[in-house]
Structure formats: C-alpha cells, structure tokens
Amino acid sequence: MSFNHQQSAHCESGVMSSLLTHAGLPMSEPMAFGLSSALAFAYLPLVKLSGMPLIAYRMPPKHIIKTLSKRLGVRLHTATFSSPKQGQEALDRALDQGRLVGLQSSVFWLPYFPPEMRFHFNAHNLLAYGREGDEYLLSDPVFEEPVRCSAEALQKARFAKGALAAKGLLYWLDDVPAEQDWHALVRRSILSTARILDGMPLPWIGIRGIDHLANKINRLDLNAKKYNRLYLTHIVRMQEEIGTGGAGFRFMYASFLQEAGVLLADEQLQAAAQELTHIGDQWRQFALLCVKQSRGKDAGLGMQPIAQALQVIAQQERALFKELVLWAKQRK
Amino acid sequence: MKLDDVPQDADTSSYAGHSKLLYAIDQQGQYQGAQSTGWDAESYATQQALAELELLEQQALQSWHSGQSSPLPCLMYRYRMDELALAQTTGLWRWRVRRHFKSQVFARLSPSLLARYADAFDLPVEQLIAYQQGALHEL
C-alpha cells in the first residue's frame, strides 16, 4: 500500500486526517480537529488520575472519529472483540484487503514509546498500513516517522484492560464523499464548540470550568507545598504533555479558524484565529507560572497571580466565542 | 506562538530524543506545524510525576522487604499504576486489591488471582509465585 505518514500533534485528529486524506479527501489535522468540534475544557474532580482530578482540554476519546465521520457523511466501520485472537485475525484480514486501519491501544504497552512517555492511557489511536513477517507497519501520528511493532506487543496494547479499554477496537472509513459543503460544516462546528465552551449549565465544563479551576488554585493551602507542586504540574501535563499542539489545543484550533477563513475567504475568521493565538500564548504563560511557583521561584507571590491569569483567559475565550456565534448566526 | 518561540530545550527534554509537533505562526502570521525537541516547563512537570512514582515505589519496596506489605504495591507503582488503575486492570474490587496488599493475605492467594496480577504487570505468573514463597528479587 502506498501511504504517506504524517506527524500530528494529537493522535485522534492525526489518525482522521490521515484516513481522510488517504481516501481522497485531503484534510489537515487542524481541520479534522475543528470540524469535529473537539475543542473543550473540563475539570472533572470525580475522575482521578493518580489522585488528581482529570483536566481535559478537548472532548472525550472517540469524539473526533465519530463526529467527523457523521458530519462528512462518511461510513465509519468499527469493530471490537471479546477475544484477542479474533481481533488479530480481523486486523490481518483488513490489511490483506489493502485497507488502512485505525486502531485504539494503550500507550504503556507500545514498545516504541520511550519509557519517559509511557503512561496508562488506553485511548491512544494509531494506523496500521501493513505487515512484514511478525511485525506490523504502523503510522503512529505523534511520531516523526513510521514505526514497527511486534505482533505480540501490539496485541497486549490493543487488549490492555482498565479504564477506556480498547477491546481491540479497529476502524476504517468507507464511501468518503469528495464533495463537501464547507461553509455549512465550518458554521455548524463552530456553533457546536461555542455551545460546549459557553453553553453548559455545569460548573466544571467549558469556560465555567476554567473559572472553577482558577478558584481551586486560589484556594490551595500554601503550606501544602508538595501537594501544590504535584497539582500545578499535573495541570501543565494535561495541557501540554499529552499531544495538544501547544496551549491545550488552542493553537490547533486557531490554525483551523485560519484555514477555514482562507477556504471561505472570510476575514472575520482570520481575525478570530489571531485572537485565539493571543489567548493560546497566555495559556503557555499560565503553564510557566505554574512551573515557576512549583519550583519555588515565585513562592512569595502565592497563588493569586496564577489564578488571575486563568480568569483573564476565561474572559477572553468567552468574548471570542460570543463573536464567533454572532458570525455563525449572520451567515445562515 | 511564533515559530521562533517554539521551544527547543533538548537538554532537559522528556521526549527521549524525539520531537513533538506544535502549531505556530510564521512572520506573516500563517500557521504551520513545527517540531519541538522539548520544553523546560513541560519536562519539569513530567519529572515531578515520575519522581513521585519512583518515591512511592521505593517506599513500597521497603515495606515489602521489611514484611509490612505484599510486593503488589511496589509492582503497582513500578508499572505506573495507582490502586484504582490496578483494580480496573485486574477487574477486582478496590477493597480486594487493598486486602491483597497485606503480606499474610498475599501469601495465601490462589494461582488464578495471581495470574490476574501477572497479566496486569505483564510478568510471568511464576515470578509472582516466587514472591509469594518469599523471593525478594526477580527470577
């Protein structure tokens, strides 16, 4: 199979970008991310990761694959397996038929991940494009080059148990329509993102969630130095470490707005992209403040400047998405 | 973020020689993908999490070797899990996992329960049986 590997910032948008491009509908990663309305913010105190709340800057796993397929009118074929053996046979069959296959897997059991980057996250996405002897030829979107993985290790990773277990999930796209109503797609996806970020009556989701996190930071007990350090660096990891393209997906979404602005020849979208870049820069500054405080360099200043930086970000994101909703409503 | 500001802190990087893709703007404000070899702030955050796991593993190792607990907590941290993750991976209730952390309870665990833990850590079950019989090191 002739297949061009392309490095992406995030696994799920990267896999969809590659699958669509391979099927004859060229699509950049930011477009796949934006058109599936994947940008979000959520502070989930009940979902714990090593004792810390889950902080997400995007929609939950599988959102991009499902939403984008639906919006583009693509037929998404998916299968999970109760037996690992069946899962491997199905993958082999699909590869023998010349398909490019998306796989969900654990990060921890993929041997080509360096030890520093291995954590138990079961909703990683990658592509299989061939087989050679006992090895699979994989395109892992977050890596620079294609990789290889032994059948045994890939089985372990596809069938790892625990939260978000993949159960060997594999998927491919059928019937990808080359003709698309880009204007309607962009408009609809922006409205949907605006609703997620600023239309949910829950204090943990969207911009309210950002304010909520700011309050949490403000109320940290300054004497609990170790907890604060782990808490603040946990936020930074959620925002930057796990493949977000920088600033918790804000730069990627800005890139989407820019590309959509060019596609529709719309200056307002381009201006919105510029504004979101500016907001993204502040998210990066916020991460720096968290780390400085953790390192004890700003210890005297307390938590207030960090919380304040976050409140400013929340205000600006709210204003930006209000404008984008107006934009969408004017262009029915 | 401008292309020139894409961090290239390879010295302190947590990417093990790899590069990560970020999105940044060029002189004209046009977005493009840009590779980064590492960012100080981010690798500091990663290091904190790893160091904490290592500390917990060392503490668990000591309490195992001094007979205060079973080897399971030590293995749990070594394989970067917490109680919740271990319970989910083995498919056991959390209170049962916690009970298996006691050395007396661990000493009586059935081979089929040990196999569940072996699978979670991807270790041969013989290894866990050896620990059960008092071995303190890898086979």
The answer to whether residues B70 and B18 belong to one domain is no
Residue A121 lies in a domain: yes
**How does residue A227 score in pLDDT terms, banded at 50, 70 and 90?**
very high
Residue B137 lies in a domain: no
CA distance B96 to B60: 18
Q: How many domains are there within chain B?
A: 2
Q: Which residues of A touch B30 (CB under 8 A)?
A: 258
Q: Which residues of A touch B45 (CB under 8 A)?
A: 233-234, 236-237, 240-241, 290-291, 294
Is the model's pLDDT at B139 over the cut of 80? Answer: no
The answer to whether residues A23 and A161 belong to one domain is yes
CA distance A114 to B11: 16
Assembly ipTM:
0.95
The answer to whether residues A204 and A307 belong to one domain is yes
CATH code, A57: 3.90.70.10
- Which residue carries 């239309």 as its tokens? A199
**How does residue B5 score in pLDDT terms, banded at 50, 70 and 90?**
very high
The answer to whether residues B122 and B70 belong to one domain is yes
The answer to whether residues B108 and B58 belong to one domain is yes
Rounded to an integer, the average pLDDT of A223-239 is: 95
Is the Cβ of B85 closer than 8 Å to some Cβ of chain A? Answer: yes
Range of the domain at B111: 50-132
Dump pLDDT digits (tens) for A126-140. 999 999 999 999 999
Dump pLDDT digits (tens) for A4-61. 999 999 999 999 999 999 999 999 999 999 999 999 999 999 888 878 999 999 999 9
The answer to whether residues B60 and B15 belong to one domain is no
Residue type, A196: I
> Do residues B70 and B103 make contact, with C-beta atoms less than 8 angstroms apart?
yes
Q: Where is the domain boundary, A174, A200, A218?
A: A174
Tell me which DSSP letter residue B1 carries.
-
The answer to whether residues B18 and B86 belong to one domain is no
> Do residues A9 and A252 make contact, with C-beta atoms less than 8 angstroms apart?
yes
Beta strands in A80-212, from DSSP E residues, in sequence order? 101-105, 124-132, 135-139, 147-150, 170-174
Is the Cβ of B58 closer than 8 Å to some Cβ of chain A? Answer: no
Nearest to A15 by CA among A63, A80, A79: A63
Residue A5 lies in a domain: no
The H or E element spanning position A156 is helix A151-158
* Nearest C-alpha in A relative to B117: A161
> Do residues A149 and A79 make contact, with C-beta atoms less than 8 angstroms apart?
no
Inter-chain touch B90–A277, beta carbons under 8 Å: no
Instruction: Tell me the average pLDDT of chain A.
Output: 95
- Which residue carries 């398909």 as its tokens? A99
The answer to whether residues B58 and B112 belong to one domain is yes
The H or E element spanning position A206 is helix A206-218
The answer to whether residues B34 and B84 belong to one domain is no
Q: Where is the domain boundary, A113, A141, A174?
A: A174
The SS3 assignment for A2 reads coil
Residue B44 lies in a domain: no
Q: Which residues of B touch A272 (CB under 8 A)?
A: none
Residue A118 lies in a domain: yes
Distance from CA of B27 to the nearest CA of A (A): 13
Q: How many domains are there within chain A?
A: 2
Nearest to A211 by CA among A318, A123, A136: A318
**How does residue A325 score in pLDDT terms, banded at 50, 70 and 90?**
very high
The answer to whether residues B57 and B84 belong to one domain is yes
Dump pLDDT digits (tens) for B65-89. 999 999 999 999 999 999 999 999 9
Give the 3-state secondary structure of B79-128: CCCCHHHHHHHHCCCHHHHHHHCCHHHHHCCCHHHHHHHHHHHCCCHHHH
Range of the domain at A80: 11-174
Residue A266 lies in a domain: yes
The answer to whether residues B116 and B92 belong to one domain is yes
The answer to whether residues B29 and B66 belong to one domain is no
Inter-chain touch B16–A116, beta carbons under 8 Å: yes
**Token couple for A72:** 């583009």
The answer to whether residues A96 and A200 belong to one domain is no
Nearest to A102 by CA among A133, A59, A61: A61
The answer to whether residues B76 and B34 belong to one domain is no
Distance from CA of B31 to the nearest CA of A (A): 6
Q: Which residues of B touch A152 (CB under 8 A)?
A: none
Rounded to an integer, the average pLDDT of A267-286 is: 98
Residue B111 lies in a domain: yes
Given CA atoms A23, A24, A27, A28 in this order, what sign does their dihedral have? positive
**Residue A178 burial (C-beta neighbours within 10 Å; 0-12, 13-18, 19+):** exposed
The answer to whether residues B61 and B117 belong to one domain is yes
**Token couple for A52:** 């810390």
Distance from CA of A97 to the nearest CA of B (A): 32
Helices then strands, each counted (H, E), chain B? 7, 2
**How does residue A299 score in pLDDT terms, banded at 50, 70 and 90?**
low
Distance from CA of B134 to the nearest CA of A (A): 28
Q: What is the pLDDT of residue A298?
A: 66
Percent of chain A with pLDDT over 70: 99
Task: Tell me if the pTM is above 0.90.
Answer: yes
Q: Where is the domain boundary, A157, A174, A191?
A: A174
Given CA atoms A231, A233, A237, A240 in this order, what sign does their dihedral have? positive
CATH code, B71: 1.10.260.40
Q: Which residues of B touch A275 (CB under 8 A)?
A: none
Residue B23 is nearest to which of A30, A161, A237, comparing CB atoms? A30
- Which residue carries 């919740």 as its tokens? B84
Rounded to an integer, the average pLDDT of B93-99 is: 97
A-B contacts at Cβ under 8 angstroms: 127
The answer to whether residues A168 and A27 belong to one domain is yes
